[in-house]
Every structure is written in C-alpha cells, then in structure tokens.
C-alpha cells in the first residue's frame, strides 16, 4: 500500500504535499493505474493529520483525473501519468547544467542560484495571473 509522508518545514500546505506525492509517484512509476490509495482514516492516523486534509487532497486528485472513488471500496488511481520522456529530461538537464556552469563562472554560489531561481519562478507565476 502506498504511504504518504509529510514535511512540516516545507511551507507547502499539507493537502498539496499529498497531491504532489501522488503526482510524483505516478511520474516515477511507484503508483500505477488501479492501485488503491490508503483510506482517509489510515492516512489521518498514519501522518497524524486532519482527515479533512486527506479528503481535500483526494478530491483534488479526482478533479485532476488522477484518482477516483469507488463507493465502499476506496480511492483508486485512474490515470497513467505520461512521464516526461527520457530525451526531454536529458535535454532539460543539459541546458540546466550549462546554465549552472555559467552561474558559477559569474560568481554565484548555491544560495544565490536558489534565490535567483525562486525569483524567476515567481515572475513567471505573476505573468500567468490574469
């Protein structure tokens, strides 16, 4: 059975952490179509979190078409994620490495790189806000 975990210090709301874990596990192949997710009560007791948080996460997964509830049986994975193709992943990684080298040559340390990425990501998000 799939087990969730919770990172208390990440700042990501707990329900989103659960959603991310399912998405990520689908991408990595740890979860497959037809797999049953643990019951709301089991997750609530396992992680010691509010059961409504689990309900919210499962609803979000249903909304995204990744999971579906079967009455009396539980929540099941209904989608096969389309994992990023190895080629695409390799390309992205190569360009990222080139960028990181350039950043290093420019004198940015790890922290500066992380900060820069955060700022750029925030700008991208801002563009998307209507």
Partner 1 sequence: MTQHDADASGPALRADRLGRRYGKVWGLRDCTLEVPAGAVAALVGPNGAGKTTLLEMIIGLLEPTEGQVSVFGQTSRADTAETLARVGYVAQDHPLYRDFTVADMFHLGRAMNPGWDQELAEARVDTLGIPLKRRVKKLSGGQQAQVSLTMALAKRAPLLVLDEPVSSLDPVARLEFMRDVMASAADAALTFLISSHVVSELERFCDWLIVLSHGHVQLAGPADDLLDAHRLLTVPRATPDAELPGTAVHRTDSDRHSTVLVRADAVALAVQGHAGWQADRVSFEQLVMGYLQRPSTAATTRNPAPAAKRPGPSTKAVTR
Tell me the H-state helices in the chain: 14-28, 40-47, 51-63, 86-105, 110-128
Give the span between the Cα atoms of 64 and 28, in whole angstroms.
Answer: 18
Per CB under 8 A, 68 contacts partner 1: no
Exactly one of 27, 28, 50, 101 binds partner 1 (CB under 8 A); which one? 50
Residues 2/37, Cβ–Cβ less than 8 Å: yes
Per CB under 8 A, 41 contacts partner 1: yes
Give the span between the Cα atoms of 55 and 40, in whole angstroms.
Answer: 7
In the complex with partner 1, which residue's Cβ is closer, 44 or 113? 44
Exactly one of 45, 84, 116, 120 binds partner 1 (CB under 8 A); which one? 45
Per CB under 8 A, 36 contacts partner 1: no
Per CB under 8 A, 49 contacts partner 1: yes
- Residue 11-30 contact track with partner 1, rule CB under 8 A, x = bound: x-xxx---------------
Give the span between the Cα atoms of 103 and 88, in whole angstroms.
Answer: 22
């Amino acid at each position: 059975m799939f087990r969730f975990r919770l990172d208390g210090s990440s700042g990501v709301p707990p329900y989103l952490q659960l959603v991310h874990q399912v998405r990520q596990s689908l991408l990595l192949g740890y979860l497959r179509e037809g797999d049953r997710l643990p019951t709301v009560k089991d997750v609530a007791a396992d992680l010691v979190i509010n059961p409504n948080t689990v309900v919210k996460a499962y609803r979000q997964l249903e909304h995204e078409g990744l999971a579906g509830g079967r009455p009396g049986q539980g929540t099941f994975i209904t989608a096969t994620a389309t994992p990023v193709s190895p080629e695409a992943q390799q390309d992205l990684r190569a360009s990222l490495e080139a960028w990181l080298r350039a950043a290093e040559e420019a004198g940015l340390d790890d922290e500066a790189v992380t900060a820069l990425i955060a700022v750029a990501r925030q700008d991208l998000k801002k563009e998307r806000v209507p």
